[in-house]
Amino acid sequence: MDQADIADDDIKTASRARRGTGKKNAPKPPKSRASKARTIKLTPPLVGLGVLGVILLGTTVFFGWSVYNNSDAASTRSTILSSSRQEALALTTLSSQTGSKDYQTVLNGSAGDLKDQISAGKSQFLKGLGTAGVTSTGKVLDAGVQSVNGGSAKVLIDVQATVSNKQTANKPEQRAYHWQLSLVSSNGKWLVTSLEFV
């Protein structure tokens, strides 16, 4: 082997040594715990699911409140109609035989101006029933809540009364009434404060 071949071998050996100490074969530093921890990236699909969850929750709360509110309103209207029917029947179901009881029933379902008028006219009311020999039986044909505003309401009601008295020679006659009743809420009850013919 001549000098040139020896020189070439030395160069190749040095080159391999340099490559062996390069970055590719260098030992990797141990991973820290922080680098091992998994991180969750807020990708568009995850953000979309979060927004959808918030929307669904809000919708559920809204509809739950709406159902409760509508149920409460329906219950109030039902109570108003029931009170209106009772007072309309009390005003049209009268008899000279049960005058005092009938009067008290009408009074119990009233308030405000109507109650004041009924109270002031008690003697005349009872005398009129007895003198005329009145017998009247009422029947509610139709009723509907016109409006509700807080603790007050208006109701339209159609009533038919079958009336007999001395003027009719004690023969029954049909009479029709179309009233607008005004009511107020008082101590958990709806009471009629005025009655208008419409």
CATH number of residue 75's parent domain: 3.10.450.50
CA neighbor of 192 nearest in space, from 110, 119, 113: 110
Position 6 confidence tier, pLDDT thresholds 50, 70, 90 = very low
State which residues form the domain around 175.
55-197
| Structural domain count of the chain | 1
Q: Per-residue pLDDT for 7 more than 70?
A: no
Residue 8 within a domain? no
Residue 165 within a domain? yes
Per-residue pLDDT, averaged over 32-36, amounts to 51
Report pLDDT digits (tens) over 46-96.
Answer: 555 566 666 766 666 555 545 555 678 889 999 999 999 999 999 999 999
The predicted pLDDT at position 185 comes to: 96
Helix (H, G, I), strand (E, B), or coil: what is residue 144? strand
- Listed ranges 66-70, 159-163, 166-170; the one with the highest mean pLDDT: 159-163
Residue 25 within a domain? no
In this prediction the pTM is 0.65
Strands in the chain per DSSP E = 94-95, 135-149, 152-164, 173-186, 189-197
Residue 23 within a domain? no
